[in-house]
Chains A and B, each alone.
Chain A
Amino acid sequence: MPAFKIPFNGYSVKFSPFYENRLAVATAQNFGILGNGRVHVLSLPPSPGAPIVETAAYDTSDAVYDIAWSESHDSILVAAIADGSVKVYDTNLPPASNPLRSLQEHTREVHAVDYNPSRRDSFLTASWDDSIKLWTVDRPISVRTFKEHAYCVYAAAWNPRHADVFASASGDCTVRVWDVREPGSTMIIPAHDFEVLYTDWNKYDDCILATASVDKSIRVWDIRSFRVPITVLNGHNYAIRKVKFSPHRGSLMVSCSYDMTVCLWDYMVEDALVGRYDHHTEFTVGVDMSVLVEGLLASTGWDELVYVWQHGTDPRAP
């Protein structure tokens, strides 16, 4: 289907876990360095040739770096804003009533948000103030702050099987594994020699996680023996912004990078790089895989375009 043009630079894209034709996009003016931001809610067309339509948009006074759909309510969105706030939107309410809430606790840019898939009332935010905060939807203040990283935290990801366990990726070159019932982090993985920009858990094996780094590599780890990675995936030519495990195949991953490509990997096979898409003309910083439609991918980048395509097809095909 045709790409959707957004007025600002794309930062993140997420499929709705409830509707197979709905997705949200986080965008920022001037690459998120200075200016406004906007959250778009997009609806995919019933037939592949038709254009994507926007069903809602919310303006913010600073860049939107990340977005997450609620796992409990089909209309709730949580946005990570560069001014340090976390904003909650309800797409069922008129624009005047949005944002539903603005949670102002982080002292610096909020870079990522992740909704808990098993305990569906809570979510995490990771911020450049070196901390991660845990929130629940019914409380106006955060439940807990996890502050151990020594530099910006770029991402946090819940373990798909253990509702209290999550991992965080930081510019201090480590990944930490946390259990919210424990007072501190339970594991520190010195994952890369450069900043770690993203981490995600395997959806089928609760001990496997992948990390993406400025060193252009993706590493896959078994946290039971984290001294050496299970595998190192090379192939991107610039820092890797995101890496996500497939919800459908245990060993499949998708990544996007400052080298403007989206890559698919199967870390179990010899030639791990199983697909590469170079449809973006600027840094590709947002990518997602649909939970409801196997093989459906979405990406966005600083070329102000959102692409949605089926794996194996050309994203630019009209």
Chain B
Amino acid sequence: MAMRELVTGGATCAVPGSSSSSSNPLGALANALIGSSSKTQERLKEIPVATPTGPENQFFQDGVPLRTLPGSEQDGAFLPPNAQGSEFLRTFHSAYQNDLADAWDDVQHGPLPHVVSDMRAGTVLRPPPTLDGPPQRMLSGLLHSFVDSSRGGIPFRPAQLPLLGLSERDKQCIRDRSTIMGRHFFADKSEDFINSQVNALLHSLDIDSDVRAKGPLPGRYRELEEYWNESQGMMRPVPHVADGWANEFNQLGVNPGNPESWARSFEQQHGSNGWASEFEQSQLMAADRMRGANLPNMAAMEQSRMLAHTLAQNNDPKFQNSKFLQFVSKMSRGELIIDDNQVKPAPGDWASEFQQQYNSGPSWTDEYLRNRGPDQWADEFTAKREQVQSADDQWANEFSKLHMNDWADEFGQQVAEGVFGEGTANDWANAYDEFMNEQIAMKQQSDSSRGVYVFSDMNPYVGHPNPLKEGQELFRKGLLSEAILALEAEVMKNPNNSEGWRLLGITHAENDDDQQAIAAMMKAEEADPSNLEVLLALGVSHTNELEQAAALRYLYGWLHHHPKYKTLTTPEMPLSFYHADVAGLFNEAAQMSPEDADVHIVLGVLYNLSREYDRAIASFQTALNLKPNDYSLWNKLGATQANSVQSADAISAYQRALDLKPNYVRAWANMGIGYANQGMYEESIPYYVRALTMNPKADNAWQYLRISLRYETSTKGSEKHSFYSMTCTTTLITIPLANFVAPPPGMTCWKLAILGIWMLSKRSSLCNRQAPPVTRVPPPPHSLGQWWRFVVHR
């Protein structure tokens, strides 16, 4: 008899009736000492294989679901791990997954190894679970028939499958992926159809169809979801608040009572000095904003505003009628305020209240001004905006734009590094940016009304005896903005004067304002539909605006009305045009009379349209041989070269144009673009400024100037004397001055300010027109994130 049997009371030593060795103290001792009786061995066997895939793996071996095997119920009876086993698993898991992962993270976040082989993943690839057993073949067949059903668009009626023993993760994969893919296959079916197909698949696999699938369709509700998630996210830092809020929301859902009860219970939970005071604070934000205060408090209101806005666009009556959402909407507009533990209607419109706040006599603005004199600019800005603003929540809309624009932030940061304290710098940045956004918004609005000519107010030439002659004279002298006024007076007097409109259009084009140019040219075309110059100019302007169809129509029209080339075209105008056809016709025309510069010019424009720049350059060069003194042709050549990445060549072409016509605003602006495209932002600035002093309404040039200013600063890195800080400094000096001088029409104060600064700082460089030496190696473009904004105009 072995020692073991002696001490443990084995077969021969067993006490009758006692089934366990535990009754034998010696046995227990032996177990502890020797470690493994047959019983403990058996128990160890019960511990499931420690694979790191989670508890459901207890039912699996190699992915084959034991549950479906005969007799598996019996297996199941002992499979649930005993306490020891699960404890073991748990510790194993935590050791493996957390500690190791942390350690790994530490290594990763430490000094980064740069040799590929050092980081050879360190992972032993888990042998992929094979999916070849019979149930998997069934699954595969099912998925096949699901995919097949997408082709006929027939409803998918799968056979009920036996339980496949899919893990939760597998189920989720099937659910998510089949949903996402289903939306691709069944794109032209209704949402209901897609859902029913996917649900049929999921149902046959015994998968719950609504458990956290990947989002709803990203259609109409996606913004709502986004805002919703964001607003939820805002609550997250204080978890119990979020929970409480959710509870409250549920209660509201059960009892769609008045919003006041909601607010009251919210108050009860969180105390009166919680959200309510925060909300009140947010009302004061309007004022705080100008003092450069931080914005986060505003975010809550902004959040509900955006939510409400999205809902307003949603036509679903369920949403429109939701009491809760109406409440949110009112809240966001300030129609309800929380006061003394009660939700009350606000005493007045929030926006008007805001206006009162700074209109009424000894308000903070005045006080503020007295304290910080130079900040008058900010006041100027608000006053300016006030004119634009109707007294509604438009302010909030504009504010939201500010909120999203990271340019403002970056700009603010840069300025903050400058000479000023954070407050003023941010003010300036925010205000400037807001203004820019407003400008852009206005421009977009004006796009809808495009083609409508906008006359200047206060035209001194109205009543002039012969404004057309005066206009021609001014145009010849190169005083384009003045010429525009004179010509406007002419066309107001004689609206059917095609020549007046045409000259007005050309002047606008040279003044770098294609919108107005197009509008004027369209009037000219109305008055005389067969004026060749008008048609050509319209073609060019539409090419600048990248509107191919319109450009082709006018260029074809040019050919159509030309006495010499009429024969090439069909008697009636086709309904649609293809670039290759039109280009082919012009090539024929060029063969007919190779000495006609106009044909080559049109060809050059056409090739610009199709972005065949080499051909376009060749055409323009041919035309220039015939017409070497056409300044607009030199500009067209330069623009084409710039667009085809030959900016250095372009600059010399612009130079020729400017030699021929020094007041050619468009060429000045293009010159700036030419430098900016080579990364020479600093060099580009004087050209933009020069163009803008001649025509402050050249919106494109303002945009380019802004980009150049920004990149000039960023290329200079940490230099304290960045242009922005300088701009800020000088703005504060210039603006009060500017208030004494009536700004030219179209020139808003901030624009004037920038200009003023430039005048002051770079006085010398502006006065002479010497181009900076081009031989300098251009710095590598620091950031061309917005390079596409540099559309060069022909």
Using a CB–CB cutoff of 8 Å, the interface residues on chain A facing chain B are: 29-36, 59-62, 82, 97, 99-102, 108-109, 128, 137-141, 150-152, 162, 164-165, 170-173, 179, 181-184, 186, 194-195, 197, 205-208, 214-216, 222-225, 227, 230, 238-239, 241, 250, 258, 268-270, 282-283, 302
**A33 adjacent to B178 (CB under 8 Å):** yes
User: B784 contacts which chain A residues (CB < 8 A)?
Assistant: 162, 164-165, 179
**A216 adjacent to B131 (CB under 8 Å):** no
Quick one: given A195-B184, A207-B788, A214-B184, are A183 and B410 in contact (CB under 8 Å)? yes
**A97 adjacent to B225 (CB under 8 Å):** no
Residue of B at shortest CB range from A38? B128
> Which A-B residue pairs are the 8 nearest by beta carbons?
A179-B785, A151-B218, A61-B128, A214-B187, A225-B546, A270-B578, A101-B121, A224-B788
Residue of B at shortest CB range from A222? B546
**Inter-chain residue pair count (beta carbon < 8 A):** 163
**B119 adjacent to A140 (CB under 8 Å):** yes
B147 interface residue, CB < 8 Å from A? yes
With beta carbons under 8 angstroms apart, the residue of A138, A183, A207, A230 that contacts B112 is: A138
* Cα distance, A238 to B152, chains bound together (Å): 12
With beta carbons under 8 angstroms apart, the residue of B113, B143, B222 that contacts A30 is: B143
Quick one: given A137-B116, A238-B187, are A186 and B785 in contact (CB under 8 Å)? yes
User: A195 contacts which chain B residues (CB < 8 A)?
Assistant: 183-184, 187, 218
Interchain residue pairs with CB less than 8 A apart (30):
A31-B181, A33-B143, A33-B173, A36-B128, A36-B129, A59-B128, A60-B128, A61-B128, A61-B129, A108-B176, A108-B214, A109-B176, A151-B222, A152-B180, A165-B784, A171-B218, A179-B786, A182-B406, A183-B410, A195-B187, A208-B611, A214-B187, A216-B188, A222-B546, A224-B789, A225-B791, A227-B447, A239-B184, A270-B581, A283-B185
User: B393 contacts which chain A residues (CB < 8 A)?
Assistant: none
Residue of B at shortest CB range from A129? B214
B741 interface residue, CB < 8 Å from A? no
User: B112 contacts which chain A residues (CB < 8 A)?
Assistant: 138-140
**B788 adjacent to A34 (CB under 8 Å):** no
Residue of B at shortest CB range from A32? B177
Q: Which of B405-451 contact A (CB under 8 A)?
A: 406, 409-410, 447
Q: Which of B739-794 contact A (CB under 8 A)?
A: 783-789, 791
**B147 adjacent to A150 (CB under 8 Å):** no
**B223 adjacent to A268 (CB under 8 Å):** no
Residue of A at shortest CB range from B114? A138
Q: Which of B109-146 contact A (CB under 8 A)?
A: 109, 112-114, 116, 119-121, 123, 125-126, 128-131, 136, 139-140, 143
Distance in angstroms from A163 CB to nearest chain B CB is 10
B108 interface residue, CB < 8 Å from A? yes
**A30 adjacent to B128 (CB under 8 Å):** no
Residue of B at shortest CB range from A61? B128
Q: Which of B207-257 contact A (CB under 8 A)?
A: 214-215, 218-219, 222-223, 225-226
From B121, B548, B578, B579, residue with most partner A Cβ within 10 Å: B121
Residue of B at shortest CB range from A227? B447
**A35 adjacent to B183 (CB under 8 Å):** no
User: B170 contacts which chain A residues (CB < 8 A)?
Assistant: 34
User: A151 contacts which chain B residues (CB < 8 A)?
Assistant: 215, 218, 222
User: A179 contacts which chain B residues (CB < 8 A)?
Assistant: 783-786
B545 interface residue, CB < 8 Å from A? yes
Quick one: given A31-B147, A32-B177, A128-B214, are A101 and B120 in contact (CB under 8 Å)? yes
**A172 adjacent to B128 (CB under 8 Å):** no
User: B147 contacts which chain A residues (CB < 8 A)?
Assistant: 31, 282-283, 302
Residue of A at shortest CB range from B171? A34
Distance in angstroms from B315 CB to nearest chain A CB is 16
**A34 adjacent to B215 (CB under 8 Å):** no
Further pairs besides A97-B120, A151-B215, A241-B184: 17, Cβ < 8 Å: A31-B181, A32-B181, A35-B140, A61-B128, A101-B116, A108-B176, A138-B112, A165-B785, A181-B783, A194-B187, A207-B788, A238-B187, A239-B185, A268-B579, A268-B610, A269-B578, A283-B147
**A184 adjacent to B406 (CB under 8 Å):** yes
* Cα distance, A35 to B137, chains bound together (Å): 11
Residue of B at shortest CB range from A172? B218
Using a CB–CB cutoff of 8 Å, the interface residues on chain B facing chain A are: 108-109, 112-114, 116, 119-121, 123, 125-126, 128-131, 136, 139-140, 143, 147, 150, 166, 170, 173-174, 176-178, 180-181, 183-185, 187-188, 214-215, 218-219, 222-223, 225-226, 406, 409-410, 447, 545-548, 578-581, 610-611, 783-789, 791
Residue of B at shortest CB range from A215? B187
* Cα distance, A30 to B610, chains bound together (Å): 45
**B143 adjacent to A150 (CB under 8 Å):** no
Residue of A at shortest CB range from B108? A140
**A61 adjacent to B126 (CB under 8 Å):** yes
With beta carbons under 8 angstroms apart, the residue of B143, B225, B789 that contacts A34 is: B143
User: B223 contacts which chain A residues (CB < 8 A)?
Assistant: 150
With beta carbons under 8 angstroms apart, the residue of B187, B215, B791 that contacts A224 is: B791
* Cα distance, A31 to B123, chains bound together (Å): 27
**B546 adjacent to A141 (CB under 8 Å):** no
Residue of A at shortest CB range from B576? A270
Distance in angstroms from B374 CB to nearest chain A CB is 30
Quick one: given A100-B116, A270-B578, are A34 and B218 in contact (CB under 8 Å)? no
User: A207 contacts which chain B residues (CB < 8 A)?
Assistant: 788
* Cα distance, A197 to B183, chains bound together (Å): 11
**B406 adjacent to A183 (CB under 8 Å):** yes
Residue of A at shortest CB range from B129? A61
User: B174 contacts which chain A residues (CB < 8 A)?
Assistant: 33-34
* Cα distance, A162 to B166, chains bound together (Å): 47
Residue of A at shortest CB range from B107? A140
Quick one: given A140-B119, A182-B785, A216-B187, are A269 and B580 in contact (CB under 8 Å)? yes
* Cα distance, A194 to B189, chains bound together (Å): 12
Distance in angstroms from B183 CB to nearest chain A CB is 7
